[in-house]
Amino acid sequence: MTIQNVGQNKVAGGWHKQYTHHSYTLGCNMRFAIFLPKTASNTHSVPVLYWLSGLTCTDENFMQKAGAFKKANELGIAIVACDTSPRGDGVADADQYDLGKGAGFYVDATKQPWSQHYQMYSYVSQELPQLVEKHFPVSRVKSIAGHSMGGHGALVIGLNNPEQFVSISAFSPISNPIKSPWGKKALTEYLGSDIETWKMYDACELLQSKSFDLPILVDQGDADEFLMEQLKPEQLLKAASSKNSKLELRMQHGYDHSYFFISSFIEEHLEFHYKHMSQAS
């Protein structure tokens, strides 16, 4: 589990650093970024928020556009942002923005040619936290968040692993991929046509199955161009309500799907996670 530093910048009193490593889960080299607040040291570990980005993104989109560092440094939270898919010359791809590289959908693919490398669910839920906890001054207290495809990933990884995460949040998540064009396309390609195998990767299906104690915060802009066809937040709220799970959905007037939206509310999401991280420490 070796890593190589490929860049770093001091920012907001802390450090943003990029690393590469060979992933045994994905079978290729991967890159991730970490923000470490000034309080992180060899004698003081800090909780960590894992951020999952959306279609076409890398580790750089959130780190460069979200404006999260000042608040994260103030609260003493580390942030880890990974890539959205495996990468490399030998990795299967499609000439489409919503499939293949940049569009891993945070599932463990079972269908060829994707199954050789596209194991993003296991990478995010197992390998990456193990790597981060080994090499950086972070505690085992962690939360997960994401946007769009990454919001879907944060919800399903958090809900499937409630013993690992103390809170979940999402911006504009693909809430019900079984009923979304993006989701149907990706899940069919990566998993095959049996819808039963899709259900562990659908937040609505998971929330309908049982009650969850994990606190969940979801922000959705009502001017989002993907709102009705792809995102379906009303289904997420309905599913959570059916089992009395702790989900708060906030519809934000006038906001779209962009990082302008994320940067407007990211500090509130960090405060939400810090509250629950503090209770778990």
C-alpha 30/C-alpha 190 separation (Å) is 20
- Reported confidence tier of residue 223, pLDDT bands at 50, 70, 90: very high
* Set 53, 143, 148, 180: catalytic member: 148
pLDDT tens digits along 93-133: 999 999 999 999 999 999 999 999 999 999 999 999 999 99
Average pLDDT rounded to a whole number, residues 232-261: 97
For the question of residue 152 being annotated catalytic, the response is: no
Strands in 13-69 per DSSP E: 14-23, 28-36, 46-52
Q: Residues 6 or more apart from 258 whose CB is under 8 A from it?
A: none
Task: State pTM to two decimals.
Answer: 0.98
pLDDT tens digits along 46-85: 999 999 999 999 999 999 999 999 999 999 999 999 999 9
For the question of residue 22 being annotated catalytic, the response is: no
Token match 């819808």: residue? Answer: 195
* Set 143, 147, 224, 245: catalytic member: 224
For the question of residue 93 being annotated catalytic, the response is: no
**Which three-class secondary structure string do you get for 91-137?**
CCCCCECCEECCECCCCECCCCCHHHCCEHHHHHHHHHHHHHHHHCC
pLDDT tens digits along 183-199: 999 999 999 999 999 99
C-alpha 39/C-alpha 46 separation (Å) is 8
* Set 117, 257, 273, 276: catalytic member: 257
The pLDDT of residue 219 is 98
The pLDDT of residue 82 is 98
Question: Does the pLDDT at position 281 exceed 80?
Answer: no
Q: List C-alpha distances in Å: 145 to 87, 116, 229.
A: 22, 26, 22
Task: Identify the H or E element spanning 4.
Answer: strand 4-11
